C-alpha cells in the first residue's frame, strides 16, 4: 500500500472527500466526475468484492493497523492518512467509521441486460430520500429480488448515505437507471414482466391475493414518499396491489412496504 500522511484539509489530493455533507453539491458532482464514496471498512470491502475500483482511500491514523488487511486488497491505491480533526474539516462531519474510499463509479448497464433472467424486479419512481433508497436495496438483497430499476429523478443508490444504509448490498443487486419510465414499462412488459403497482386505490388487489397467484415475472413499482406513483405509472401497470392496513393507518413507509411486498412475492416464487 502507498501511505501518504496529510495534515492540510485543503490539500488537492483530498478533493474527492471535500464537503461530503453538502448533499446538493455531491449529488451533482459525484455522477459528473464518475465517483462515489464508500464509508466504513465493511462497505469498502463489499465494493471491492463486487469488482469496483478505488481512486483512493482516506484513513484516520489510529485505524491504519486494523485496516491493513483491507488496504492490502488495493496495493496500488493511494491511502491518505489524516488526523480526526483534518478528516472532520475536510468532510464536514466527524468520521467515526475508520475509513472512506473514493470509488470509480461503474457504467450503468442497459435495462434489458439488468433484468435478464430476473423473476422479481423492483422499480423505484422518484424516491428522493437516500435512506429509503438504501433500505429498499437492503430489502431487495435480503428478500430475494433479482434487480432494481430507478427513475431519472430517483435518489442516487451510490450516494454515501444510500450505500451505508444498504450495508453495501447496493453492490450485489443488479441495478440501473431508467431513461424514460413510460417506455421502460413497455420494455418490461415486452420482456414478459407483469408490472404491479403498489398503491392505495379502490380497485387495488390485496397483496396476499396477488402474491398467491403471482405471474412468473413481476416488476414491483414503488412510488415517491409524498405523492406516490404518477397517474401514468398507475395507468401503465397491469395490476394495482395494496397492503391491507389496520388501526386507522392507511399505508407504510416505502421501505417498509417494499419489505412486506417482497417477502410475499418471493415466498410464493420459491
What is the pLDDT, as a whole number, of residue 71? Answer: 85
Which CATH code, of 3.40.1280.10, 3.40.50.720, 3.30.1460.30, 3.30.70.580, is assigned to 111-269? 3.40.1280.10
Q: How far apart are CA 8 and CA 83, in angstroms?
A: 10
pLDDT tier for residue 38 given thresholds of 50, 70 and 90: very high
What's the maximum distance between 2 C-alpha atoms anywhere in the chain? 63
Q: What pLDDT sits at residue 186?
A: 85
Q: What pLDDT does residue 270 have?
A: 60
Q: What is the pLDDT of residues 105-135, one digit of tens each?
A: 999 999 999 999 999 999 999 999 999 999 9
Q: Could you read off the pLDDT of 173-207 as tens digits, one per residue?
A: 999 999 887 778 888 998 999 999 999 888 899 99
CATH class of the structural domain 2-104: alpha beta
Q: How far, in Å, CA of 196 to CA of 164, rounded? A: 28
Angle at 141 between CA 94 and CA 43, to 5 degrees: 25
Boundaries of CATH 3.30.1330.30 in the chain?
Answer: 2-104
**What percentage of the chain carries pLDDT values higher than 90?**
77
Q: Within 13 Å of residue 121, how many CA atoms lie on the same side as its CB? A: 30
Task: Locate 79 and state its grid cell.
Answer: 491511502
- Residues 138-186 have pLDDT tens digits of 999 999 999 999 999 999 999 999 999 999 999 999 999 998 877 788 8
Q: What mean pLDDT, rounded, does the chain reach?
A: 93
- Shortest CA distance to 221 belongs to which of 238, 205, 206? 238
pLDDT(18) > 90: yes
pLDDT value at position 100?
Answer: 95
| Sequence ranges of the chain with CATH classification 3.40.1280.10 | 111-269
Measured from the Cβ of residue 96, the count of other Cβ atoms closer than 10 Å reads: 10
pLDDT for the residue 226: 78
Q: What DSSP state is assigned to residue 270?
A: -
The answer to whether residues 94 and 21 touch, using CB atoms and an 8 Å cutoff, is: no
Phi, psi for residue 214 in degrees, rounded to 5: -60, 145
C-alpha span between 254 and 148 (Å, rounded): 14
Q: What is the reported pLDDT for 1? A: 67
The pLDDT of 92-115, averaged and rounded, is 92
| Phi, psi dihedrals of residue 37, rounded to the nearest 5° | -110, 125
Return the DSSP state at 93: S
- From CA 104, how far away is CA 41, in angstroms rounded? 17
d(CA 86, CA 247): 50
Amino acid at each position: 500500500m502507498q501511505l501518504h500522511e496529510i495534515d492540510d484539509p485543503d490539500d488537492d489530493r483530498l478533493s474527492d472527500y471535500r464537503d461530503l455533507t453538502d448533499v446538493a453539491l455531491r449529488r451533482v458532482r459525484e455522477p459528473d466526475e464518475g465517483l462515489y464514496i464508500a464509508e466504513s471498512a465493511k462497505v469498502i470491502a463489499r465494493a471491492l468484492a463486487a469488482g469496483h475500483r478505488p481512486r483512493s482511500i482516506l484513513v484516520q491514523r489510529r485505524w491504519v493497523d486494523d485496516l491493513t488487511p483491507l488496504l492490502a486488497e488495493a496495493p496500488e491505491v493511494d491511502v491518505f492518512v489524516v488526523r480526526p480533526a483534518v478528516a472532520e474539516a475536510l468532510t464536514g462531519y466527524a468520521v467515526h467509521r475508520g475509513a472512506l474510499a473514493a470509488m470509480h463509479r461503474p457504467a450503468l448497464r442497459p435495462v434489458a441486460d439488468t433484468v435478464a433472467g430476473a423473476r422479481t424486479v423492483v422499480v423505484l419512481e422518484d424516491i428522493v430520500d437516500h435512506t429509503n433508497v438504501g433500505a429498499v436495496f437492503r430489502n431487495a438483497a435480503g428478500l430475494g429480488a433479482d434487480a432494481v430499476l430507478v427513475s431519472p429523478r430517483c435518489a442516487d443508490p451510490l450516494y454515501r448515505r444510500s450505500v451505508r444504509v444498504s450495508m453495501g448490498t447496493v453492490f450485489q443487486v443488479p441495478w440501473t437507471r431508467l431513461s424514460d419510465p413510460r417506455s421502460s414499462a413497455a420494455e418490461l412488459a415486452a420482456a414478459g414482466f407483469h408490472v404491479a403497482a403498489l398503491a392505495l386505490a379502490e380497485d387495488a388487489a390485496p397483496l396476499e391475493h396477488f402474491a398467491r397467484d403471482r405471474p412468473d415475472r413481476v416488476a414491483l413499482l414503488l412510488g415517491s414518499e409524498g405523492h406516490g406513483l404518477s397517474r401514468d405509472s398507475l395507468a401503465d401497470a397491469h395490476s394495482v396491489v395494496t397492503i391491507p392496513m389496520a388501526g386507522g393507518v392507511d399505508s407504510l413507509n416505502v421501505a417498509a412496504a417494499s419489505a412486506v411486498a417482497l417477502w410475499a412475492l418471493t415466498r410464493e416464487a420459491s
